[in-house]
Amino acid sequence: MSDKKLKLPEVGQWPDKLVAPALIAGAVLSTVGFLMAFFYVAPVGGATVNGAELIGDVMVSQKMLLSQKIFYFHMPVAITSFIALGFGCYYAVRFLMTKNQRFDTCSRICLEIALLFVALTMITGEMWTRFEWGVWWSWEPRLTTYLILMLIVIAYFVLRSSVDEPERRGTFAAVVTIIATIDVPICFMITRLIPSSIHPVVLREGGMSPEMGLCVGLCALGMLCVGFVLYRARFNQVRLTQRVEALKETLDDERA
Amino acid sequence: MNPILADIYSTILPSAPYIIAAYALLWVALLVYVLVVFRGTKKAEAQLMLLEEAVADRAAKGE
């Protein structure tokens, strides 16, 4: 496929027009989601207590789990990491089809964003794990598959830094991206495939109240907008750096 | 507070540090990434300006 016929991702194209609205939407939605999580959605109940008390208009006979509030951002950042990996895989496949370095650049930036959100998922999850389960780590199926995903994404960057030749580097990186993306549905479905007593299956009928679903939805949309803005900002920076490098090489060649 | 209410609310305060840490670390990590991108962009822009000056100098000398 010739490069002339390819429509390459570039700075100033239509996605850049969405950056400002996405930034505003990200800030508003994540703030509204945060406020809803603490002031609108009722706390979920934990262990039953010996007795019941009227709180508001509701008879409560369980411990209130404030720690569950972590979930309202934990799940959205995990979803964003999966979607970033999905886009990374799309660009990786396009790189393998065309061998155009621009797609490798896009894929690398998607993987950077994915790694950022994977780390955020781990951080928020660890806080929950430490308080609710009393440990910093558990070899529970969801945690283990997600750790594998994080290690694959870290391996992606280690691999990139160890290969100098651009086409070989891009090819290896694309294959690792596809492998990482294969782990995404496994991570997502593992709580259904291997029912775990500790990691809840949230996305199912009756798994969340409508208020919880709305709050998670808003936070997820907000985080997706934030992820998109970060991607475009990084893409613009990388393209600018690449243009500077190309200009330097041209000047050096002329000088020689 | 009556003992049942105390039991119902018993996990609220102990969990607060973990919730605050989760939210704070989340936004700090995002902010750090934004700062890294911002610094990288500023650096590239500065280099571009220098290169443009070098090109202009060369063009002036060539004339």
Q: Which of residues 33-52 of B touch A (CB under 8 A)?
A: 33-34, 37-38, 40-41, 44-45, 47-48, 51
Domain annotation for chain A: domains and CATH numbers: 14-255 (1.20.120)
What pLDDT, on a 0 to 100 scale, did the predictor assign at position A129? 92
Percent of chain A with pLDDT over 90: 70
What pLDDT, on a 0 to 100 scale, did the predictor assign at position B60? 86
What pLDDT, on a 0 to 100 scale, did the predictor assign at position B54? 84
What pLDDT, on a 0 to 100 scale, did the predictor assign at position A59? 86
**Mean pLDDT throughout A18-28?**
97
What pLDDT, on a 0 to 100 scale, did the predictor assign at position A196? 66
What pLDDT, on a 0 to 100 scale, did the predictor assign at position A250? 83
In eight-state DSSP terms, residue A44 is: E
What pLDDT, on a 0 to 100 scale, did the predictor assign at position B36? 97
Residue A141: is its pLDDT beyond 80? Answer: yes
Would you say A196 and A133 are in contact if contact means Cβ atoms under 8 Å apart? no
Residue A127: is its pLDDT beyond 50? Answer: yes
Kindly report the backbone phi and psi dihedral angles of residue A200, in degrees, each rounded to the nearest multiple of 5, phi listed first.
-75, 150
Residue A203: is its pLDDT beyond 90? Answer: no
Residue A60: is its pLDDT beyond 80? Answer: yes
Cα–Cα distance, A217 to A229 (Å, whole number): 18
Cα–Cα distances in angstroms (integers) from residue A224 to residues A25, A73, A75, A165, in the given order: 10, 11, 12, 33
Residue A1: is its pLDDT beyond 50? Answer: no
Would you say A60 and A43 are in contact if contact means Cβ atoms under 8 Å apart? no
Please give the mean pLDDT across all residues of chain A.
Answer: 91
**Mean pLDDT throughout A55-76?**
90
Cα–Cα distance, A14 to A161 (Å, whole number): 31
In eight-state DSSP terms, residue A41 is: S
Alpha helix positions (H), chain B: 3-8, 12-62
Residue A4: is its pLDDT beyond 90? Answer: no
**Mean pLDDT throughout A130-141?**
90
Would you say A43 and A65 are in contact if contact means Cβ atoms under 8 Å apart? yes
Inter-chain contact B7–A50, Cβ cutoff 8 Å? yes
Q: Which residues pair with B56 in a beta bridge?
A: none
Which site among A34, A71, A111, A131 would you substitute to test the B interface, given the most B Cβ atoms closer than 10 Å to its Cβ? A131
ipTM for this prediction: 0.88
3-state class of A95 per DSSP? Answer: helix
pLDDT one-digit tens code per residue, A176-195? 999 999 999 999 888 888 87
**Mean pLDDT throughout B30-54?**
94
Which site among A49, A54, A73, A129 would you substitute to test the B interface, given the most B Cβ atoms closer than 10 Å to its Cβ? A49
Q: Which two tokens stand for residue A154?
A: 């870290």
Rounded to 10 degrees, the C-alpha dihedral A144/A149/A155/A156 comes to 180
pLDDT one-digit tens code per residue, A33-49? 999 999 999 888 888 88
Residue A2: is its pLDDT beyond 70? Answer: no
Q: Which two tokens stand for residue A226?
A: 């934030």
What pLDDT, on a 0 to 100 scale, did the predictor assign at position A202? 67
